[in-house]
A = this chain, B = another copy of it.
Amino acid sequence: MPPSGRHDNGSLPPPSIPPSLPAVRLRAAPRTSAGARPALSPPLPSAERGLGAHPRRARAAVAAMRRGERRGPGGALGKAALEEQPDGPGPRRSTESEVYDDGTNTFFWRAHTLTVLFILTCALGYVTLLEETPQDTAYNTKRGIVASILVFLCFGVTQAKDGPFSRPHPAYWRFWLCVSVVYELFLIFILFQTVQDGRQFMKYIDPNLGVPLPERDYGGNCLIYDPGNETDPFHNIWDKLDGFVPAHFFGWYLKTLMIRDWWMCMIISVMFEFLEYSLEHQLPNFSECWWDHWIMDVILCNGLGIYCGMKTLSWLSLKTYKWQGLWNIPTYKGKMKRIVFQFTPYSWVKFEWKPASSLRRWLAVCGIIFVFLLAELNTFYLKFVLWMPPEHYLVLLRLVFFVNVGGVAMREIYDFMDDPKFHKKLGQQAWLVAAITATEFLIVVKYDPYTLTLSLPFYITQCWILGIILVLTWTAWRFFIRDITLRYKEIRRQKQEHKYEKDKCLSNGDGHSSILDEQNGNKLRERKL
């Protein structure tokens, strides 16, 4: 459907412009297209400075644009609104990809609020009026709760606030947002039960749950080459190569796509092995052989996952983001490609965490790593306290859930950190992921305070204290002492230059020392920033 087909507000498109442009270039060069009429805006002399001088405005515009695209206000206008943002020639952030979009807004993209409402009402009417209600109260209660959750999902998928992602479809991300709400409420409910009741409550979800886990023997023989076993001396290695190896690899591949930073990934990956070492006296399944920790986990599985993730990231940041409506593509092959590309991002933002650039960012990055590791630990502790076998489908579902919401949350946190003035609110998904991680941790603390307070072995305590002291020292040096030193040096240099200038002025008789003064002030300000 060409964009021109939607000009039904009575006013014809400006005659000088062809009614359907194949691809309107968004952000990069605001052009007049059929759907976009840039309106009168006083051409200020200062407007040309907009190129790089107002990063906040630019981001605001980009965000508004992205929002505009996703909220899809309908037809060509939706896209038109994007171009109406007076962005000037360079509106996007430096880390963000350029996007071309022909502004197709077909059936696929519309909200269907009324359709969903109608179908929902019909379905409810059919199930509750035409089918006979069973007389079993427990069954009806369960059914009522499931129906409530489904109606909530219906509402949320249709109407919830959109997040930063819009591919393959905004509704997909709204769905996961609603799932997070349901999961968080479920956790809150569990949190308020007694330990006994909470574990038995899991029986309502799966009748096989609610029984204590069998004690399992971990660790054991750590020889890489076991001469005692003559048929296969490497049997210890083959034993470890189970389904968790691809799971580790794939998990870290996805985590790299979330975090988008090599260093942070590596730190989290290594930190987690340290945590396993530290907590193996609490949870026996953290105990692994040294080569399992460092060679198989960190280097092979995680390392390879991170490497592949980084390769994908660089491909994503280099590829062109050119979106054409499916019906505007002439060839069959092109159409197929377009369908596949629907599952790639709409645009791309490189994450530059820059933890050392300011105290605020440093604390934020530390906080992210902390919450990330806490969420990873929760996976194991939650299984343990709620008596879930590791291979249970709920454990897997929780991971699938986290993979889906984690990416959104990380992007929202990045936006919030990157531009706290515009993204005044921490994104909803990030908020929920933080709340979920906290609630999961509270459940673990409440359900098994004994295991959690088993004291750390002495050498591990020492290591942690050493680590914490190192981090604190670095923080103090980087953001306090170094700053003071720099400022002191700057002032001294400035004074010297001032003196020199004065001498020069006295000898030359011209008075531009004040300008230099200002320059020095600016330099100082820049260094402080």
* Contact indicator A121/B77 (Cβ below 8 Å): no
0/1 string, A511-529, CB within 8 A of B gives 1: 0000000000000000001
Judge whether A57 is part of the interface by a CB distance below 8 angstroms: yes
Residue in A9, A39, A75, A85 whose Cβ sees the most chain B Cβ within 10 Å? A39
Q: What chain B residues lie within 8 Å of A223 (beta carbons)? A: none
Do B88 and A86 touch (CB < 8 A)?
no
Whether A308 is near chain B, meaning CB under 8 Å from some CB there, is no
Q: In residues 116-155 of chain A, which contact B (Cβ within 8 Å)? A: 117, 120-121, 124-125, 127-129, 133-135, 137, 140-141, 143-145, 147-148, 151-152, 155
Choice from B73, B88, B148, B189 contacting A189 with Cβ under 8 Å: B148
Is A167 on the interface with B (CB-CB < 8 A)? no
Contact partners of A120 in chain B: CB under 8 A: 435
- Contacts A54-B9, A188-B148, A192-B144 hold; do A428 and B159 have CB atoms under 8 A apart? yes
Instruction: Tell me the chain A residues, 400-429 only, with Cβ under 8 Å from chain B.
Output: 420-426, 428
Q: What's the nearest-Cβ distance from chain B to residue A384, in Å? A: 18
Interchain nearest-CB distance for A76 vs B (Å): 9
For this chain, the copies found in one complex come to: 2
Q: A121-B438, A140-B192 are in contact. Are A529 and B10 (CB under 8 A)?
A: yes
Report Cα–Cα, A499/B56, bound state, in Å. 64
CA distance A190 to B128 in the complex (A): 11
Nearest residue (CB) in B for A36 is: B57
A497 within 8 A of B: no
Give A residues with C-beta under 8 Å from B. Answer: 6, 8-11, 14, 30, 32, 37-44, 46-48, 50, 53-57, 60-61, 64, 71-75, 77-78, 80-81, 84-89, 110-111, 113-114, 117, 120-121, 124-125, 127-129, 133-135, 137, 140-141, 143-145, 147-148, 151-152, 155, 158-161, 181, 184-186, 188-194, 197, 420-426, 428, 431-432, 434-435, 438-439, 442, 445-446, 529
